[in-house]
Amino acid sequence: MSTQPPQAGTGPEISIRGLHKSFGDNEVLRGIDLDVAHGEVVCVIGPSGSGKSTLLRCVNLLEEPTKGQVYVGGTEVTDPDVDIDAVRRRIGMVFQQFNLFPHLTVTENLTLPQRRVLRRDRATAARIAAQNLKRVGLAEKADAYPSSLSGGQQQRVAIARALAMGPEVMLFDEPTSALDPELVGDVLAVMRSLADEGMTMMVVTHEMSFAREVADRVVFMDGGVVVEDGEPAQVIGAPRHERTRHFLSRLL
């Protein structure tokens, strides 16, 4: 793999080089090298505690890497002089917990960050909110409060909220893990349609059928390193490493 940093506009959308992260004495990421091409969907799988969330959080600087570089769209986001807020605007993130504001309507949940962070005027923010609610199939819930929605609907609102900021890449950290099984499918369907639209995505998930059908690549992490990285059919269907086989056998 090349160690040259990517050039703006030509290289991968996300490029991670020699990434290390420690919490005190606990080295959680032990040298990660990973590229995600423009429009590519990469699913990250691995046991609990293997560093998957930390990896995503280092990409949008919710965690500060101990060592190594992360580039997004050719900009080094780990450069100490970078404008972190400007970087985060380009990266949407969806968590297991949806974190909607309970006292705001669905539309207000979507317009607030647009107005605060992007300084959009009220009418523009409302128009973009409506477009993105439609995109996740929830146009009719515009005036509802989060507590009246199912978990799956709340997660789709959280996805729409991230999309309304116009991100170049989307990071998903176990977006369906907190949902009742019957609500998972609608959220995965929204993610699949985003993938079809050409969104660049990193998705931490235990949904192997989603990874198989939607991902361009699957990355298996264990102990803070990438153990295996390849096409879904290979990594899931014919894993090369014993650790990958062991992990997959326990999911079935």
Round to whole Å and give the CA distance between 88 and 48.
26
Shortest spacing between CB 57 and Mg ion, in angstroms: 9
Backbone angles phi, psi at 230, to 5 degrees: -170, -170
Q: Identity (one letter) of the amino acid at 142?
A: A
Residue 53 interacting with ligand ADP (CB under 6 A): yes
Residue 49 binds which one of Mg ion, ligand ADP, none, with CB within 5 to 8 A depending on kind? ligand ADP
**From the list 8, 23, 140, 241, which residue makes contact with ligand ADP (rule: CB under 6 A)?**
23
Residue 201 interacting with ligand ADP (CB under 6 A): no
Q: Please choose which of Mg ion, ligand ADP, none residue 107 contacts, taking the beta carbon within 5 to 8 angstroms, the exact cut-off set by kind.
A: none
CA distances from 16 to 169, 185, 212 (A): 14, 31, 23
By the rule CB under 6 A, 156 interacts with ligand ADP: no
**Cβ nearer to Mg ion, comparing 52 with 141:** 52
> Which residues would be at the binding site for Mg ion (CB under 5 A)?
52-53
Residue 23 binds: one of ligand ADP, Mg ion, none (C-beta under 5 to 8 A by kind): ligand ADP
What DSSP string runs through 21-61? Answer: EEETTEEEEEEEEEEE-TT-EEEEE--TTSSHHHHHHHHTT
- Binding of residue 50 to ligand ADP (CB under 6 A): yes
Angle at 83 between CA 78 and CA 89, to 5 degrees: 95
- Between 129 and 204, name the residue whose CB sits nearer to ligand ADP: 204
Q: How far is the CB of 171 from ligand ADP (least distance, A)?
A: 12
Closest to ligand ADP by CB, 95 or 210: 95
Neighbouring CB atoms inside 10 A of 120's CB total: 19
52 binds ligand ADP (CB under 6 A): yes
Q: Which residue has its beta carbon closest to Mg ion?
A: 53
Q: Are 247 and 45 in contact (CB under 8 A)?
A: yes
- Rounded-to-integer distance, Cα 141 and Cα 109, Å: 12
Residues 6+ apart with CB under 8 A from 243: 220, 222, 227
Query: Which of Mg ion, ligand ADP, none is residue 209 near (CB under 5 to 8 Å by kind)?
Result: none
Q: Which of 4, 7, 10, 48 binds ligand ADP (CB under 6 A)?
A: 48
Residue 153: strand pairing partners: none
Query: Other C-beta atoms within 10 Å of 143: how many?
Result: 9
- CB nearer Mg ion, residue 177 or residue 193: 177
Binding of residue 244 to ligand ADP (CB under 6 A): no
Segment contacting ligand ADP by CB under 6 A, of 44-52, 158-166, 192-200, 235-243: 44-52
CA–CA distance, 69 with 15 (Å, rounded to integer) = 8
Residue 200 and residue 82: Cα distance in Å, rounded?
Answer: 22
Contact residues: ligand ADP, CB under 6 A: 23, 26, 28, 46, 48-54
